[in-house]
Amino acid sequence: MLLQYARALGLGGDLERSQEVLRELVRAGEPVRTEAAAFRAVVARLLGHIDDAAALLTAQLHGDLPPHAEGKLHVELAAIGALREDGDATARHAERALTLLDADRPALAAAARSLRAFGALYGGDVAAARGHAAAATELVDATTNSALRPHVELIGPLAWVHLQLGDGVAAARQLHRAADVVESGRGSSAVPYLLVVRAALETRLGRLAAAVELAEEAMAAARRMGSVEMLAMAEAVSLRPLLWTTGPAGAITVAERLAATDRPRSRMWWRVAQTSLAIARLAAGEPEACLRIVSGPEASWPAGPPTAVPRDVLRAVALATSGDLDAADRYAQRAGALAEATDLAYETGCAGYARAYVAARARRFAEAAAHAEAAATHLAAARTPVEEALARHLAGLAYARGGRAARARAAFGQAEEAYEACGATWLRAVLDRHRAAAPARARRDAGTPATGAAALSAREREIAELVRAGLTNQEIASRLFLSRRTVESHLSRVFAKLGVRSRTAMAGRFTADFPAE
């Protein structure tokens, strides 16, 4: 009865009281003692006591445990390995759990498979991560809500892996399922964490207001639970949308407050906060501060592309800003090689941005524009509209400084529309300043009404490109998450601006206005 009471307290969010009750079960007989210790470790992890949680779980691993009980302990140890950025430990414990768990426990098996995917991804094995994520998804889909509820928090790593692999649709589906599971019960201690992952997804999809709102909901839920660690995780995930909407000052203030309290204790979420702080420092014109954040031994950062590529991109941009173009180029090239080897559109686009930035700093403007346009294409494929707009913005700068005013105007216009659509207010203000500082020819040209393909908005051009590629209206709607009627409305405006009446004529006019260079 006490164990059930402690579980109810913990799952309901009263973590401190749950810990008190669980301590009373230290000398209980089996299997209550092992189950109480396992749940006590879960509560400790949620409170940010990562080392304590690991010690509690490891102490319970002895030879006379039933397979399913030992498997559950290994799942929890794999989760702790993920939080510590220890890919080897995550993979090892997840694999052991999978050998112990039978078909009667699909929820735990799904959690183990999700964590195995996480370990593979952050260890640099993207193909294995995709395979494990697919297997985990099948298990989750086959499991009832009631069976998932005690382990619903561990849907978070699966959604996170899908997000990092570029499958936002799968990530969103898993998070919706988790929300359904939580709503079918009486609340859950998993709520803040799931809200944090949802905020990360909304940020990646460019829905910045929603991301900020979800982060604030996560903060409020964490405060109700009394979890300083969960509160810090929510603040960490809020940094990127805060930067893009209000500018670097606010993001730096929050990040430095986290650093002063050594939060989050989870190394993974600490890394999220530090990476966003490095970006904010760059945005504030402080490349040396950015370099201090991303410096250190190679072994101190996970080898997988979700961390290794952004690190090298930040190094490249910061070094180029500081004037060390040779070193900047080496890091940009290394980021590109790693991203392309893993075939991840988001990382490939970010690496392309770094190459474009270095080339622009070296005054190789044609090369910079080409890299920026290629980066924007990859980031569009990854469905990350803010990052795509940043690449268009950089392309506009390269075109303007290279004397290609019409191209600059078109790229700036695409960036502007995306910033507006995403609510990236601060980025839009930066764009306005860059436009005002553009060479005189570009400024004069900017006052001339655009015609032909140059008059198309970012969304209209995107749809026109897909039509040119041979996609039907329904296929375009599915790819861009729009209704078919919305696509048809955009196309009618494209036809009007290009002065054509058919898809074939539109494709020909579009190609003529923007030939390959």
DSSP alpha helix (H) spans, 60-207: 67-83, 87-100, 106-122, 126-141, 145-148, 155-164, 168-183, 191-204
pLDDT for 514 beyond 50: no
pLDDT, residue 517, reads 31
- Cα separation, 199 vs 212, whole angstroms: 7
Read off the pLDDT of residues 411-426 as tens digits, 9 standing for 90 and up: 999 999 999 999 999 9
User: Is the model more confident about 212 or about 227?
Assistant: 212
pLDDT, residue 479, reads 80
Q: Which amino acid is at 152?
A: V
Taking CA atoms, 334 is separated from 328, 355, 363, in Å, by 10, 10, 21
Q: What is the 3-state secondary structure (H, E, C) of 138-150?
A: HHHHCCCHHHHHH
> Side-chain half-sphere of 309: how many Cα atoms within 13 Å?
28
Averaged confidence pLDDT in the chain = 88
Peptide bond into 150 cis (omega under 30): no
Percentage with pLDDT > 90 across the chain? 59
Q: Which amino acid is at 199?
A: A
* Averaged pLDDT, 477-485: 80
pLDDT for 515 beyond 60: no
Read off the pLDDT of residues 374-394 as tens digits, 9 standing for 90 and up: 999 999 999 999 999 999 999
* Averaged pLDDT, 20-31: 67
- Cα separation, 141 vs 174, whole angstroms: 9
- CB 131, CB 96: distance < 8 Å: no
According to CATH, the topology of domain 457-517 is: Arc Repressor Mutant, subunit A (1.10.10)
pLDDT, residue 220, reads 94
What is the tally of helices (H) and strands (E) in the chain? 29, 0
Radius of gyration of the chain (CA): 25
Please spell the DSSP secondary structure of 425-440, one letter per residue: HHHHHHHHHHHHTS-H
Secondary structure percentages of the chain, helix, strand, coil, to 5 = 80, 0, 20
pLDDT, residue 213, reads 97
pLDDT for 445 beyond 80: no
Say how many Å lie between the first and final Cα of the chain, rounded: 73
Read off the pLDDT of residues 138-170 as tens digits, 9 standing for 90 and up: 999 999 998 898 888 889 999 999 999 999 999
- Cα separation, 517 vs 509, whole angstroms: 16
- Cα separation, 271 vs 269, whole angstroms: 5
Read off the pLDDT of residues 303-317 as tens digits, 9 standing for 90 and up: 899 999 999 999 999
- Cα separation, 227 vs 335, whole angstroms: 36
pLDDT for 3 beyond 80: no
- Which range has the worst mean pLDDT, 112-116, 228-232, 475-479? 475-479
CATH number for 2-187 (one of 2.40.37.10, 3.30.450.40, 3.90.550.10, 1.25.40.10): it is: 1.25.40.10
Q: Give residue 40's pLDDT band: very low, low, confident or very high (50, 70, 90).
A: confident
- CB 26, CB 33: distance < 8 Å: yes
Same fold, 2-187 and 457-517: no
- Which range has the worst mean pLDDT, 33-42, 268-277, 423-432? 33-42
pLDDT for 492 beyond 90: no
- Cα separation, 392 vs 37, whole angstroms: 53
- Cα separation, 171 vs 52, whole angstroms: 30
Please spell the DSSP secondary structure of 244-259, one letter per residue: HHH-HHHHHHHHHHHH
Read off the pLDDT of residues 245-257 as tens digits, 9 standing for 90 and up: 999 999 999 999 9
What are the residue ranges spanned by the domains of the chain? 2-187, 190-281, 457-517
Check: pTM over 0.85? Answer yes or no.
no
- Which range has the worst mean pLDDT, 80-84, 153-157, 205-209, 499-503? 499-503
